[in-house]
């Protein structure tokens, strides 16, 4: 017997940008089967969820997390002291915590020794409840480059291609390449290009040859352009995006995943044991990131929500606060929510997720009030009333 649930009474945000007050949503098993005027469902005899005073919306998508990190002051140092079994359990715990707090899909942008893969596979089999997870496997980086502590070090096109093939063989969902220096690796600078344009192009081309999307850690302008010109799917962080980057990203349809949460939480918790080199670099690029994001946004660029959850004091389960940061920086509530719903799913290649409409997967979030008037209704999980994953209420 099919299980039907009707959500009716309150507002519906469709994930793309439209807010309706006169429609109800009917789900059957794990899909949405109808979105229509409330009067259409008069006499419905199945389960009814009264959404009066609330907004029904798609579950959120966080397109940049690190499930093996716990969000301590120095995550990499902490990870080095933990056994493989404990890391795998941490991955599961972080994934399930994220789901309980409204994140129904996420993209892990770099793990450790593929320990996150069994968790994804177990969730896909239904052994454990969890969000939809896409994994990059090991980050691909140059010798001594950003991410080299846990990443796959590769230099030159031949070795970079081999590194991409290794991730594909391991079962990755997408490939991540480190185009520039970053904040969390000592001795490297965010502006510096790490891979050459040729190396980036080789990596991206090989990933695309095997139908894999690509992401790049890219903060400096030169590295961003190397990645965009090579055909990258998304630029992570994008601190030094300039007019040329914006023009070429718009032409290519390249997503920007700004991860404001990463820098904000480092700076805001600088006195709690975060290594000084991280704090110093974070402070140096904080304002530039804000300026670049707003220029990209006002030019009409594609934005997807990503947090870098797991980095210092950037906790799994608090992912939705990225929406508040986006709004604080000048993004409209509607566009911030679109970044966290439809755009995130689109970036991940999930055509049945991220929106409310006939045929969509019933990944749903019910929140108090109207998040288009107050983004904290979504950003603060204490304002969440219910989370549904594939039509099942998350406990």
- Sequence ranges of the domains in the chain: 4-58+354-393, 60-319
8 A C-beta contact, residue 50 and residue 9: yes
Domain 60-319 CATH (choose: 3.10.310.10, 3.20.20.140, 3.10.20.30, 3.40.50.1370) = 3.20.20.140
How many Å apart are CA 94 and CA 169, to the nearest integer? 25
What residues in the chain have per-residue pLDDT under 70? 1
pLDDT, residue 205, reads: 98
273: how many CB neighbours lie within 10 A of its CB? 11
| Cross-sheet strand order for the sheet of 4-8 | 31-37, 23-28, 4-8, 47-50
- For 222-280, how does the pLDDT look when each residue is reduced to its tens digit (9 = 90+)? 999 999 999 999 999 999 999 999 999 999 999 999 999 999 999 999 999 999 999 99
pLDDT value of position 1: 57
Phi, psi of 96 (to 5 degrees): -70, -35
CA angle 390, 393, 395 (to 5 degrees): 130
Q: Check if the beta carbon of residue 241 is closer than 8 Å to that of residue 302.
A: no
E strands, the chain, are 4-8, 11-13, 19-20, 23-28, 31-37, 47-50, 54-58, 60-65, 103-108, 132-135, 140-141, 152-153, 174-178, 213-218, 234-237, 255-257, 302-303, 364-368, 384-389, 392-393
pLDDT value of residue 245: 98
At the fourth CATH level, which superfamily is domain 4-58+354-393? Answer: Urease, subunit C, domain 1 (2.30.40.10)
- The pair of three-digit structure tokens given for residue 276, joined into one six-digit string: 């000084």
pLDDT the model gives residue 392: 96
């Amino acid at each position: 017997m099919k299980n039907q649930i009707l959500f009716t009474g309150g507002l519906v945000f469709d994930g793309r940008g439209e807010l309706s007050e006169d429609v109800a949503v009917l789900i059957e098993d794990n899909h949405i089967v109808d979105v229509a005027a409330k009067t259409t469902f008069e006499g419905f005899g199945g389960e009814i969820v009264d959404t009066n005073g609330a907004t029904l919306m798609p579950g959120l998508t966080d397109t940049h997390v690190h499930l093996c990190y716990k969000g301590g002051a120095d995550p990499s140092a902490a990870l080095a002291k933990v056994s493989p079994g404990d890391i795998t359990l941490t991955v599961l715990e972080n994934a399930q915590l994220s789901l309980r707090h409204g994140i129904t899909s996420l993209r892990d942008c770099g793990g450790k020794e593929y320990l996150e893969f069994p968790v994804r596979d177990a969730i896909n089999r239904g052994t454990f409840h969890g969000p939809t997870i896409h994994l990059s496997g090991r980050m691909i980086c140059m010798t001594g480059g950003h991410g080299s502590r846990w990443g796959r070090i590769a230099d030159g096109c031949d070795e970079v291609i081999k590194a991409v093939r290794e991730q594909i063989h391991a079962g990755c969902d997408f490939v991540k390449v480190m185009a520039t220096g970053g904040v969390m690796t000592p001795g490297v600078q965010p502006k510096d290009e790490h891979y050459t344009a040729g190396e980036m192009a080789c990596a991206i081309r090989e990933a695309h040859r095997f139908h894999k999307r690509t992401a790049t850690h890219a903060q400096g302008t030169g590295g961003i352009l190397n990645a965009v010109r090579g055909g990258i799917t998304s630029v992570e962080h994008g601190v030094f995006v300039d007019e040329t980057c914006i023009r070429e990203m718009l032409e290519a349809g390249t997503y920007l995943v700004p991860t404001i949460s990463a820098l904000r939480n480092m700076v805001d918790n600088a006195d709690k044991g975060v290594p000084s080199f991280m704090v110093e670099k974070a402070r140096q690029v904080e304002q530039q990131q804000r300026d670049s994001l707003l220029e990209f946004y006002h030019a009409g660029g594609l934005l997807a929500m990503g947090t870098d959850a797991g980095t210092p004091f950037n906790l799994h389960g608090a992912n939705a606060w990225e929406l508040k940061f986006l709004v604080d920086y000048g993004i409209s509530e509607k566009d911030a929510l679109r970044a966290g719903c439809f755009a995130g799913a689109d970036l991940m290649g999930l055509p049945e997720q991220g929106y409310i409409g006939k045929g969509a997967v019933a990944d749903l979030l019910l929140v108090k009030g109207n998040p288009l008037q107050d983004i904290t209704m979504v950003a603060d999980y204490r304002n969440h009333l219910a989370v549904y994953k594939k039509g099942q209420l998350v406990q």
